[in-house]
Structure 1
Amino acid sequence: MLTRGGCPKNMLSIRDALEALEGKWKLLILFSLSSGPKRFKELSKEVNGITDKILSKELKNLEINKLIKREVYDTFPPAVIYSITPHGMSLEKVMDELHLWGLSHRKKIMGK
């Protein structure tokens, strides 16, 4: 049985997951936040190669998907802290497995 855009019903959950995590930055941002809350500039430095514009866009998308939380503190200048939500932390096993698979894949394709 096909649904939404011709996707088989048994693949909808995978499609939803991929849409929430699509792109090359979202999992890296979540991985960075899994070690603790961070400010924007800390994330920008830790997620090497991402532009501020893209980081801002990805953070908004992750927040919409309830994977991260954005807290604004009433200071001067205002402090904004990003942290991973419990829903985001439910991806911890997935991120760990991707990390291990990436190490194995890198060895396989580089012959090391």
Structure 2
Amino acid sequence: MSTTQIALDRINAVLNAAGLDDTIFSLRDANSSLFLLLFKKLFARTLPGVQAAPVGEQEHAANYEVLLRAIGDDVLGMDLSHLSPTQLAAGELAPLCNLAEIFSEL
């Protein structure tokens, strides 16, 4: 199984565990909007300061920054600076796998 497929399987497992009836088939679909939706579903709150309809990597990176800060500070109480919002917004495989793993533990 490819690394990409492993990442997709992790993300889809998190979607399923959160009760979201959705499946992604491409890492292009694993963007900040998807992870913000997961956060909202798991914690019943919307994060302030996010772009509702992000366009482009810069806006997705800004959304990831807000999301990572909320998870790190408010939920886990730990530093998540090893995850780069820019790399997540670019759709890089390793950071997306790491974020999916974090969500699977929430």
Shorter-chain TM-score tier: under 0.3
Q: 1 or 2, which has the higher helix percentage?
A: 2
Q: 1 or 2, which has the higher strand percentage?
A: 1
TM-score, L = length of structure 2? 0.27
TM-score, L = length of structure 1? 0.26
Q: Rg bigger for which structure? A: 1
